[in-house]
C-alpha cells in the first residue's frame, strides 16, 4: 500500500512493501527528485537494506555450521511492513521477525522505519530492536536513487558530489558483488567527485569508514532553477555510490556494513562491518535528506 505525506516544501510517497520511499517531490520546483524505478535499468527507488548490506558468498548466510539463503541486500526490501503510526508529517513502518524471516535470518528482531518531513528535510530513522537475551548482529543501510540529472535539461556531466572532508585515500570496488582485494585510489579530488558513467563500469564505489558525514549532490551549472540534495549521515560508517552506466539515477547510500570480501565464506559473526546490538535493547540510526534550491 502507498502512503503520502506532504508539507509546504516536499511531498513523499512510501510503500508498505519494504518500507520503501517511492517519491521525493519538490513543491517549489514542481520536480520529482527520486528515480522512478524504470525496470529497463533498475526497478527500485530507495530500498532499505537489512540485515545485510551488499552480497554474501553464494548468497548464503553462515551461522555456525548452518547455511541460510540470503539474497543481496537482505530480506527487508521484499518484506511487507505494517504501519504502526501515521501523523500529519510522519509515518512509521515495522517489520517483526516471523517464521518466514527465520528461514533466512535465524534471529528475532524488529526493524522500525520512520519518515518525517521537517520543512525542506526528510528525516529517515531506522530502529533495530533486539528482543532476545543474546547479541543481535546485523548490517543496515539506505539505498536512495536520485534522478541524474536532478533537473531535466542539465548535462549529466555537470553534476558533482561535494564531501565535507577530504576523501583522497583508498576505496573499495566489487567483483560479482563481493569486495575486491585490491583497493583503488579515490577519484575524489579536493572534496569533489565529478560524476561520470565511467566511474561505475566496475559497479559501486565503496567508501569504508568514510571521514565525511555529509555530502552535497548538485550541478556546477548556474541556472535560474537549480537544485541540490544534501545527505547528513552521522550515524553511518560507510557510503556507497552507484549507478548503472546509461541510467538516469545516482544512488547515494549511507551504510553500516558492506559486502563480504571475495573468498570470505566464514561465519556471519566474523564478517567485517557488522553491528552488535546487546540483548533486550534497541538502537536508532538516522540520516537527513535536505532539498535546496540555489
Query: What pLDDT is attached to residue 211?
Result: 98
Domain count, the chain: 1
User: SS3 string of the chain?
Assistant: CEEEEECCCEEEEEECECCEEEEEEECCCCEECECCCCCCCCCCCCCEEECCCCCCHHHEEEECCEEEECCCCECHHHCECEEEEECCCEEEEEEECCHHHHCCCCCCCEEEEEEEEECCEEEEEEEEEECCCCCEEECEEECCEEECCCCCCCCHHHEEEEECCCCCCEEECEECCEECCCCEECCCECCEEECCHHHHCCCCEEECCCCCCEEEEEECCCCCCCEEEEEECCCCCEEEEECCCCCCEEEEEEEECCCCECCCCCCHHHCCCCEEECCCEEEEEEEEEEEEEC
Inter-residue contact 116 to 265 (CB < 8 Å): no
Span 49-91, pLDDT tens digits:
999 999 999 999 999 999 999 999 999 999 999 999 999 999 9
Query: What pLDDT is attached to residue 222?
Result: 64
Max Cα–Cα distance, the chain, nearest Å: 61
pLDDT of 177 over the 60 cut: yes
CATH of the domain at 49: 2.70.98.10
pLDDT of 288 over the 70 cut: yes
| Alpha carbon of residue 43 to chain centroid | 15
Inter-residue contact 233 to 287 (CB < 8 Å): yes
Query: What pLDDT is attached to residue 129?
Result: 99
pLDDT of 220 over the 90 cut: no
Identify the residue whose cell numbers are 561505475: 200
Which pLDDT band, with edges at 50, 70 and 90, does 44 fall under?
A: very high
Span 136-156, pLDDT tens digits:
999 999 999 999 999 888 899
Q: How far apart are CA 110 and CA 96, in angstroms?
A: 4
Q: How far apart are CA 118 and CA 120, in angstroms?
A: 6
Domain that holds residue 42: 2-293
pTM confidence score: 0.97
Query: What pLDDT is attached to residue 182?
Result: 93
Q: What mean pLDDT comes out for the span 120-144?
A: 99
Average pLDDT, the chain: 96
Which pLDDT band, with edges at 50, 70 and 90, does 18 fall under?
A: very high
Q: Which of 219-223, 255-259, 261-265 has the highest mean pLDDT?
A: 255-259
Inter-residue contact 206 to 178 (CB < 8 Å): no
Residue 15 dihedral angles phi and psi, to the nearest 5°: -120, 145
Query: What pLDDT is attached to residue 265?
Result: 87
Q: How far apart are CA 76 and CA 51, in angstroms?
A: 7
Inter-residue contact 19 to 76 (CB < 8 Å): yes
Please state, as a whole number, how many other Cβ atoms lie within 10 Å of the Cβ of residue 192.
14
CA angle 147, 152, 156 (to 5 degrees): 65
Span 186-218, pLDDT tens digits:
999 999 999 999 999 999 999 999 999 999 999
Query: What pLDDT is attached to residue 216?
Result: 98
Amino acid at each position: 500500500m502507498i502512503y503520502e505525506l506532504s508539507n509546504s516544501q516536499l511531498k513523499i510517497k512510501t510503500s508498505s512493501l519494504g518500507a520503501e520511499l517511492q517519491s521525493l517531490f519538490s513543491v517549489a520546483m514542481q520536480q520529482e527528485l527520486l528515480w522512478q524505478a524504470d525496470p529497463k535499468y533498475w526497478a527500485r527507488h530507495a530500498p532499505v537494506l537489512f540485515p545485510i548490506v551488499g552480497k554474501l558468498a553464494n548468497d548464503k548466510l553462515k551461522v555456525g555450521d548452518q547455511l541460510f539463503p540470503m539474497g543481496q541486500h537482505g530480506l527487508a526490501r521484499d518484506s511487507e511492513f505494517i504501519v504502526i503510526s501515521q501523523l500529519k508529517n510522519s509515518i512509521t513502518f515495522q517489520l517483526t521477525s516471523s517464521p518466514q524471516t527465520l528461514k533466512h535470518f535465524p534471529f528475532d528482531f524488529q526493524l522500525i522505519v520512520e519518515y518525517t518531513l521537517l520543512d525542506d528535510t526528510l528525516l529517515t530513522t531506522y530502529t533495530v530492536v533486539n528482543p532476545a537475551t543474546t547479541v543481535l548482529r546485523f548490517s543496515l543501510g539506505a539505498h536512495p536513487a536520485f534522478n541524474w540529472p536532478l533537473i531535466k535539461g542539465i548535462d549529466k556531466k555537470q553534476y558533482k558530489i561535494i564531501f565535507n572532508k577530504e576523501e583522497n585515500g583508498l576505496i573499495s570496488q566489487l567483483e560479482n558483488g563481493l569486495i575486491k582485494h585490491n583497493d583503488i585510489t579515490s577519484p575524489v579530488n579536493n572534496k569533489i567527485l565529478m560524476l561520470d558513467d565511467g566511474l561505475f563500469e566496475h559497479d559501486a564505489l565503496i567508501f569504508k569508514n568514510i571521514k565525511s558525514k555529509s555530502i552535497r549532490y548538485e550541478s556546477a551549472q548556474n541556472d535560474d532553477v537549480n537544485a541540490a540534495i544534501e545527505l547528513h549521515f552521522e550515524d553511518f560508517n560507510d557510503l556507497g555510490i552507484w549507478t548503472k552506466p546509461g541510467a538516469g539515477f545516482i544512488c547515494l547510500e549511507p551504510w553500516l556494513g558492506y559486502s563480504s570480501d571475495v573468498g570470505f565464506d566464514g561465519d556471519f559473526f566474523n564478517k567485517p562491518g557488522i553491528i552488535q546490538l546487546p540483548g533486550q535493547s534497541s538502537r536508532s540510526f538516522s540520516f537527513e535528506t535536505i532539498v535546496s534550491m540555489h
